[in-house]
Amino acid sequence: MIALTEIEKRFGDTRVLQGVSLAVPEGRVTALIGPSGSGKSTLLRCVNLLEIPQAGRLEIGEERLDFRPEARPSRREILAIRRQTGMVFQNFQLFPHRTVAQNVMEGLVTVQRWPEAKARVRAMELLDKVGLAHKAADWPSSLSGGQQQRVAIARALAPSPRVLLCDEPTSALDPQLAGEVVAVLAALAREGMTMLMATHDLRLARSMAHQVAFLEGGTIVEHGTPESLFGQPADPRTRRFVATLIGETAPAA
């Protein structure tokens, strides 16, 4: 179980997250949706502490971290959380001077101190899983965007994280290439991988997620199953937003 409780995040005087609480069930996919600037990507980055909240609590498995404005978490506390998360970024962020296999191996060798031979075996297993074992010796620049994102997913999975965090995983791709990535993520979901995903793609959220949370103005307005949130949203703000899924105009509040 991953749980966020009363998370607050500010950048200077701007409050980006305001008292956000969310439980992410084990073995399920939770999607964060909302307009640009709603705080969904910031919330995702708070889970692996790329952004440090000023208040609230984060729990992942046995690890619990309470945030206070006057005290930054220690390096040990940050690493304890990050070891349980894998991050897939919008723009892939592969190392251009490393081969595909070396990109997947990098964290295992440099951070976890795995022997190179063991890391290579793990990398090849994961590249096979995402359908790219035949590209192991290639450079990232020779791959399509969809292939690069699939390598990024393999890299995120390398240390066997408890939760996979996906920040707009298909937004930089055209529909065909996005389909390759969605197929890999859907297969992981069927295998019971816990995922927390920030996405602007409402169809992706509707088809893959077990739980959807709609954010606006740094707060969770509404959350529930895709069927309830997309089919019968309770809040008028949610109704207006999800109307874009089917191209209709939502009734005024």
In a domain, 238, yes or no: yes
Q: Which domain holds residue 150?
A: 92-161
Cα separation values, 146 from 31, 66, 163, Å: 20, 37, 22
Q: Would you place residue 201 in the very low, low, confident or very high pLDDT band (cuts 50, 70, 90)?
A: confident
Lowest mean pLDDT among 26-30, 208-212, 231-235, 249-253: 249-253
Give pLDDT, residue 253: 44
Cα separation values, 113 from 95, 105, 106, 108, Å: 19, 10, 10, 6
Q: What is the dihedral sign for C-alpha 60, 178, 32, 227?
A: negative
Q: What's the structural domain count of the chain?
A: 2
Mean pLDDT of 43-69: 95
Torsions phi, psi of 123, nearest 5? -60, -40
Question: Is-contact 57 43, C-beta < 8 A?
Answer: no
Task: Show which of 143, 161, 179 is a domain's final residue.
Answer: 161
First to last CA, the chain: 35
**What is the model's pTM?**
0.91
